[in-house]
Every structure is written in structure tokens, then in C-alpha cells.
Amino acid sequence: MTALTGRVFRLPDLGEGLTEAGLVQWLVAVGDTIVTDQAIAEVETAKSVVELPSPFAGVVTALHGEPGETIDVGAPVLEVAEGAGAESTAADAVEHDAYREEERAGSGNVLIGYGTSAPTASGRRRPRARATAAPHRSADAEPVPPPTIAPPERDMPTDASPRRPVAVRSPLVRRLARDLGLDVRTIAATGHDGAVTRADVLAAAVDAAVDGAEASHRRIDAHGRIGAEDRAGAGAVDDLSVTSRERLSPLRKAVGAKLSRSRSEIPEATVWVDVDATELWNLRSQMAAEGDRHPSLTALIARFALIALEEHPILASRLSDDASELISFDGVNLGVATDTERGLMVPVIRRAHERSVEQLDDALRELTAAARAGSVPPERLRGSTFTLNNYGGLGVDGSAAIINHPDVAILGVGRIIERAWVVDGRIVPRRIAQLSLVFDHRVCDGGYAASFLRRVTELVEHPLRAFGRV
């Protein structure tokens, strides 16, 4: 690898617990002259595809990574040298040092405008000590590490026995350890300043997951990869040769972590019912003026679910982190499970209970298109309080859905197809769909969940009741 020279731009803290990003494409090349805040690459996070702006101005001397590769937070992205045409100054260096301190603190707001030297919106002043020291640093010097941050109170021992102090500079490392169920006080630190690093956490996770003999032969490096000496045996299958190993995308790993957490923490239960959607199927084409677009079935069922949630608000609540309190809200943020080429995404319609069917339909079409294009902003992918999953669009009748943590329920809808159905003692063809509700058994019992599902069923079978016409 080329030695790091000049100013090195490292992948910043992306916020939301994200620890890496996939490189989609470079927007600059070696030899290009760039200015501060110029977009230099497109990266794919577990949330969306975003442009990455440079905090430096100057001439690009090196690019680190090829499209399709994954870059870890803190790893070098590109290098910039000052020279003819470069607009970088010592003041830029001071600003970037201050930015690095904010990034290490986990601000998460670093992909837009962090490189500018204009005053921040909050009016915070930069420490003068940094400004006087910066001009004495060489151009190729590494950023000065920030002071060691003491762990917050929740990581302090509860017993009286003495424990060694632990330095965890990055909130991402602390969150990774928490998500893996590890106590940072028990992890051996290898950071140059005595801090616990991401590699330390990953190594500790492996040691905790395998027995002593296996742990002595397998190790995971700082990128979460199995060591070269173990690749031949890891995951090997008798009589079959491994043809390839493909690292999971940031989105796939984020989805996996969230679903694993849901299954490990939530004692879920499921109720389901077959519903006669014939009347809804026939009336849908009449729910729009001539020449206008009629609403989607997803939008209609979303409206029915929101009506039912008004009468069953517990299913749109949340549990506190220690599961000791039920947190209720003044409405519903509706998450909509969306299948995309990148994987499952759940864009959120905020305050969905206030929207009409037409407004829900517009929002659904907009968010679905954006999710499939990878352009949904991160803030539109969080904050749901109830999730709707229309897997019927995938051509299946039912699914054992997993709750979208930290929601406490998810409503699934299968495909609507013609089946033989008994009506008034006669067997007739009807449009039938299966509805399933997966719920957190800690917040309610089966009777409450069944009552919600019966209400949704009533509205699907008699849709005019949802609009006050029956």
C-alpha cells in the first residue's frame, strides 16, 4: 500500500452506530485539484448512498480503495497535498482538527459541510490552544489523538471490587461492545494510547463465542475478516470446495444485526386470519376520479391499520431500554418494509395517522421509489412505532415476520388471490388474503392482539366503514 503522505482524509463517524461504508464510485482522480467540501466519492452505508465531501483543499495524491470495497470508520480514504492551485491553509488544518474532535465525540453530522471554515450554526468557538499549535505540525503528521474519555456511568462496575479504568474513545466501539453483549472493562486494550479499539471488541467477541481450543486458532482482524491461516477451514463443508467468499454489505450486516437483536430480545407471538378482500378489491377502482390514479392496496390497508391502532395504541408503543416502562405516543410513525436490490429497508411515514388514503398512497410511492434508488435520507429510515409489511407483492401468502426493533408489532399482508370460499352456505370464488400480526408478548396478550386483527379484518371486508359511509 502506498505510504500515507500529505494530509490524510479518514472516513468520519457516520453516526447511527455505523462502523463502515461501501465505496460505490470515486468522483475524483489522482492529480485532480479539489476544494474544501467538494464531493470526492459516493459511499453506501447501511442507511443510504451518500456523497462524501473532503475537508481539505489541494491536489489529490492517493485514493484508498476500489469501488465495491468496504472502508472502515477511521480508515484512510484519500490523501491531499498542498501545492499550486491548492486552497488549503493553516486555518483549514485547525478547522479539520476541531472537526476530528467532534467526529470522535459521535456527533454523526459529518457528511455535509463539515470541512468549511465558516462559523458553525451553534456559534461554538474553537479552542485557541489548537490554533496556536497547528502551524507547528508537519504536513504529513497524523492528527493528534484527543484526550482519553472516561467511560460513562453505565459502564462503571456496580460492585465494590476494584476494576481497571477503561478508555473507549469512540462511541461506535462502545456501542459495538454493547450490541455484542460484552463488558468493555473485560476487554484487553491494544490501542496506542491504551484505548479499546474495534479490533479488540471483535477479537473478544470471537473468544467469547468459541471454546478455548478453537479460539486459539481463529482470530478476526480489525476489518472483521477471518485470518488468512483460517480461511481454508472456516465454514468448510465436507466433499465441497469453497468457490468464493463475499463480504456482506453494510446494509446486509445492519439488517442482520437488527433482526438478531429483535429475535434475541423480544418474546414474540403471532396471530393470523384469512380475510375476504373481495369488496375492497372491487371498490378500489372506484376510489378515484376519472383519469386519476386509484390508491394502492398497501395504502388502503395502512389506513385500516392506523384506524385499528387508534383503538389499540399499545401496539404502536415502545418499551424502555430496561423493559420496565411502556412508552406511549400521540400518534403513529408507520414503517413500511420495502424490498430493494440492496436488501430490506424500512422507510418511515411520520405522523401517518394524520394522513388520508391519498396522502398515504403518495408517501408510499415516494418512499418506495427512493428506497429502491438508495436515496432515502437516514432520518427517514428511523423512528417507526409500527411496521407494515406487504409481502404479497413478492408472490407469497404468508410469512413469519420479525418485529422491526424497537417496535412492538408488525402487520403482514399476503397476496390477494381467488379461492373457493363459503358464503351463505355456497362455495363461491372470492378474493382472499392472509393477515398476520406478530407482537411483543411483553406489552400485551393474545386477546388484545386478536382484537386489533379483527378490527383490521372488519375494515378490509367492509371498506366503506372506514370512510364513515356505513
Catalytic residue annotation:
441
Amino acid present at 319: L
What percent helix, strand, coil does the chain show, rounded to 5? 30, 20, 45
* 275 burial level (CB within 10 Å; 0-12, 13-18, 19+): buried
| Residue 63 host element (H or E) | strand 58-63
In whole angstroms, give the CA distance from residue 160 to residue 236. Answer: 46
Q: Angle of helix 198-209 relative to helix 171-179, nearest 10 degrees?
A: 10
Spatial contact of 433 and 468, defined as CB atoms under 8 Å apart: no
From residue 265, give the alpha-carbon distance in Å to each of 121, 202, 388, 438, 441: 40, 21, 20, 14, 11
In whole angstroms, give the CA distance from residue 168 to residue 321. Answer: 22
Phi, psi dihedral angles at 359 (to 5 degrees): -70, -40
Cell of 123: 456559534
Length of the chain measured in residues: 470
Phi, psi dihedral angles at 213 (to 5 degrees): -65, -45
Angle at 68 between CA 342 and CA 58, to 5 degrees: 120
In whole angstroms, give the CA distance from residue 391 to residue 403. Answer: 14
Dihedral, CA of residue 149, residue 152, residue 155 and residue 159, to nearest 10: 110
Listed residue (242, 223, 218) closest to 232, CA to CA = 242
Pairing between β-strand 417-423 and β-strand 76-81 as defined by DSSP bridges: unpaired
Listed residue (295, 196, 184, 248) closest to 44, CA to CA = 248
Cβ-based neighbours of 196, under 8 Å, separated by 6 or more: 166, 167, 168, 173, 177, 184, 187, 189
